[in-house]
Amino acid sequence: MREKLEQAREQALQGLVGIDSLAALEEIRVRYLGRKGVVTEILRGLGQVAPEDRPAIGQAANEVKAAITAALDARKAELEQRDAALRAQKNRLDLSLPGHRPRLGHMHPIPRVAEEILGIFRDMGFQVATGPDVETEYYNFDSLNTPADHPARDSHDTFFVKPGVVLRTQTSPVQMRVMEKTQPPVAIVAPGRVYRVDYDASHSPMFFQIEGLLVDKGVSLADLKGALMHFVHRFFGPKTQLRFRPHFFPFTEPSAEIDISCTVCGGAGCRVCKFSGWLEILGCGMVHPEVFRYAGYDYETYTGFAFGLGIDRIAMLKHAISSIGHLYENDLRFLEQF
């Protein structure tokens, strides 16, 4: 048995020569010192040894185990030191090498279009104003001359947070908040998210809107038409045609919707404009005297106009986007085109 132990030690030490990985080193340990290893199997026959020889055999077995373990530990330390040196070399920071420029992103088409629109109205003297997304019914409806029985105040059109509190359906409440704190002249544009219970290819339950307001002495419908024609010609091009159609909004009187000649077919007729040659882009009108009463303005002294347009819709028209969903899916294949 002593000879078998010595032979196992020699084989183990010989097997360590050329070991080049920690995994192979572990295989050697299991082969000789594991529960079914060579040394363990030899010691299973210790019961057949004469009692007086057992202490010597046990001591020899311990010496063999210690020798193999020491050799394993020494080789393990060498391999770990080598691996650490390789990792350090691989991860070494060479400050003499040129740096890598980070990849730069770009603006999403919605804020890009919004900034272009706001820039046009800033040039005309309008200031940007903002307000909360969660509004009271007073600011969202009552102060804008929208009666209690108006369909827009039903739950199938408006998201209610709790009684008397809604997710704003338009950015018009910003106009009222500004008028309450500011005496004319007032010239603002109010961009922001708005929310309506609506979803299809051209509508989203959350979308972006810009509303404008101008109040001063002597403001007329001609001023409204001039401002919006200037905007359309700067944004869509000087050859774009406009038409004003009578409409109804509770907070303006008279009211109108504006169509422009189709940006895809130039007015000839196509699927985008449903072969009409025209595309609706915004609603507008002269501010209703009742709205001035809520704001504390003298409607016999001051007049004004207001308008509202969907940024998402303008972006769709400008870039001929077929579905509003593309703007919110965050598909890089789509977004990288802008």
CB of 143 closer than 8 Å to CB of 181: no
> Given this model, what pLDDT does residue 113 score?
92
**For residue 185, is the peptide bond before it cis, meaning its omega torsion is within 30 degrees of 0?**
yes
Whole-number Cα distances in Å, 165 to 137, 139, 168, 180: 6, 10, 9, 20
DSSP H helices in the chain: 2-16, 22-33, 38-43, 54-90, 109-123, 137-140, 172-181, 221-236, 289-295, 311-319, 332-335
pLDDT of 58 above 90: no
Write out pLDDT tens, residues 285-308. 999 999 999 999 999 999 999 999
Residue 122: pLDDT band (50, 70, 90) is very high
The pLDDT of residue 198: 76
Mean per-residue pLDDT for 3-24?
77
What is the percentage of the chain residues whose pLDDT exceeds 70?
94
Backbone φ and ψ for 185, nearest 5 degrees, come out as -80, 145
Show Cβ contacts of residue 331 under 8 Å, excluding neighbours closer than 6 positions.
none
Write the secondary structure of 76-109 as one string of H (helix), E (strand) and C (coil): HHHHHHHHHHHHHHHCCCCCCCCCCCCCCCCCCH
The rounded mean pLDDT for the chain is 86
* pLDDT above 90: residue 103: no
Pick the CATH number of 109-335 from 3.30.565.10, 3.30.930.10, 1.10.3720.10, 3.40.1160.10: 3.30.930.10
CA distances to 55, 112, 244, 252, 273 from 260, in Å: 105, 21, 9, 21, 10
Q: What angle do the packed helices 2-16 and 54-90 form, to 10 degrees?
A: 10
- Contact of 198 with 205, CB cutoff 8 Å: yes
Q: Answer for the pair 290, 308: CB distance below 8 angstroms, yes or no.
A: no
Q: In degrees rounded to 5, what are phi and psi of residue 65?
A: -60, -45
Average pLDDT over every residue of 72-88: 85
Taken in order 76, 77, 80, 86, the sign of the CA dihedral is negative
Q: What is the mean pLDDT of residues 263-280?
A: 79
Assigned token pair, 99: 């740096």
164-177 mean pLDDT: 93
β-bridge pairing 242-249 and 165-167: unpaired
- Region of residue 64 (left: phi > 0; alpha: psi -120 to 50; beta: else): alpha
pLDDT digits 0-9 by tens, 177-225:
999 999 999 999 999 999 988 776 556 788 899 999 999 999 999 999 9
Instruction: Write down the pLDDT at residue 288.
Output: 96
CA triple 116-118-124, angle to 5 deg: 110
Tokens of 176: 């009222």
Helices first, then strands: H and E counts in the chain? 11, 10
Percent above pLDDT 90 for the chain: 42
Q: Does residue 32 have a pLDDT over 70?
A: yes
pLDDT of 322-336, one tens digit each? 777 888 888 888 888
